[in-house]
Amino acid sequence: MSEQDLVERLLSWFAHHKRDLPWRREPRDPYRVWLAEVMLQQTQVATVIPYYERWLARFPTLEALAAAPLDEVLKLWEGLGYYARARHLHAAARAIVNKYGGRIPQTLPALLALPGIGRYTAGAVASLAFNADAPVLDGNVKRVLSRVYGLRAPKDAALWRLAQALLPPGRAGAFNEALMDLGSLVCLPRAPRCALCPLRERCAAFASGDPEAFPSRATKRTPPHHRVLTALIVDPDGCVLLGQRPIGGLLGGLWEFISSDLRADCVVDGQGTDQLKQMIMARAGLAVEHAEVKWLGEVKHAFTHFRITRYAWQVALPARRATEAAPNAYVALRWVMPAEVTNLALTRSDRKLWQIYQALSLPKGATTSL
């Protein structure tokens, strides 16, 4: 099977089996194509669709997104993970409004100059929205190309060259989506459906008898475990203190209860509170010597590359006191009424802590004094 035959077979298969996805509605809207491609990074289609629909209901145009405050953008993204994607979308929307009058640029260099847009996203937007002859290379495309050409440990640079060489002029968008759909529907990481594949006659991995061996998988490492000390600080009116995480870091821009990583030698058993007092002063500039303290428990959460355990205390102040965010800790501190807490973009583990706090009122348990 020649390369031209490969392309034609794949496009013919795609014409009959392509997925009906909301961002594929014709005519293509570049903003919606871009939004979908960003949301789909590291995230399954089934997870993305409801987020995509809610997002467009609130931000139907790029101009609406650019005009929104970052807090609202992050809140709408809450639960989708990889929050840098939302921050970059917001920043890029503002850049497009300011530099291009609200029209998404069509060339790869201009797209690549926008915040958060890499080679894959630029190629996807250019080919799918503007029919440019630009390749894409996501996980599905890498797997399909590696198997068809029998590449066990291919370098990305080689796969990019291969994807570019296969592009049919004027049909790059359909070809790119066909590769992605083939990888998603047929050429699966495990138990690929080779009997349904239009390329199996050309596929070196199929011919080997062990298609799952292509490409070879990296050995999984045990993800690191981080322990975090957390204080859910409450004033006499029931307001709670939240800190906004630094914009450029992990979970940047999200709000959390006052927290800090624990040293490896620290022991947390629900009894001692000295390190809690020190942490609150260091992170929020708040003295809590006479506060009433209650152990809330542990909350565990797994990220893609690491996991955390948060050791949480409720700290009830006799009176609200002045706070000062440590420069390396929080962008801002805010006292928030209970009814307003869930209106802010919180991390998932903070949302779990909030549920624990609401379920366990202070009078039900013994308290200790700091």
CA-to-CA dists, residue 173 to 132, 182, 352, angstroms: 8, 14, 42
Distance CA 344, CA 306 (A): 24
The pTM (predicted TM-score) of the whole model is 0.88
Residues assigned a catalytic role: 37
The strand pair at 332-336 and 225-234 is best described as unpaired
Distance in angstroms (rounded) separating the CA atoms of residues 252 and 147: 38
Which CATH architecture fits 3-213? Orthogonal Bundle (1.10)
pLDDT value, residue 167:
97
Q: Tell me: pLDDT of 362 over 50.
A: no
> Backbone phi, then psi, for 366, in 5-degree steps?
-70, 145
Distance, in Å, from the CA atom of 239 to the CA atom of 232, rounded to the nearest integer, reads 10
Q: Which two tokens stand for residue 119?
A: 């080679």
Q: Per-residue pLDDT for 32 more than 80?
A: yes
pLDDT tens for residues 256-286?
Answer: 999 999 976 676 665 567 889 999 999 999 9
Q: What is the chain's mean pLDDT, rounded?
A: 93
Residue 303: both structure tokens together: 């990220």
Task: Provide mean pLDDT across the span 156-164.
Answer: 97
**Radius of gyration of the CA atoms of the chain, in A:** 25
Rama region for 238: left / alpha / beta (φ>0; ψ in -120 to 50; rest): left
Please answer whether residues 164 and 119 qualify as being in contact, where contact means their C-beta atoms are separated by less than 8 angstroms.
no
Name the residue with tokens 């002063």: 281
What residues contact 302, with CB distance under 8 A and at least 6 apart? 223
Tokens of 111: 């797209």
pLDDT, tens only, 175-226: 999 999 999 999 999 999 999 999 999 999 999 999 999 999 888 788 899 9
Q: Is the model's pLDDT at 361 over the cut of 70?
A: no
Question: Could you tell me the residue ranges of all domains in the chain?
Answer: 3-213, 225-369
Residue 365, pLDDT score: 46
SS3 content of the chain, % helix, strand, coil (to 5): 45, 15, 40
Q: Is the predicted pLDDT of residue 165 greater than 90, yes or no? A: yes
**Which pLDDT score is estimated for 231?**
97
Identify the band that residue 305 occupies on the pLDDT scale cut at 50, 70 and 90. Answer: confident
**Domains 3-213 and 225-369 equal at CATH topology level:** no
- 225-369: CATH homologous superfamily? Nucleoside Triphosphate Pyrophosphohydrolase (3.90.79.10)
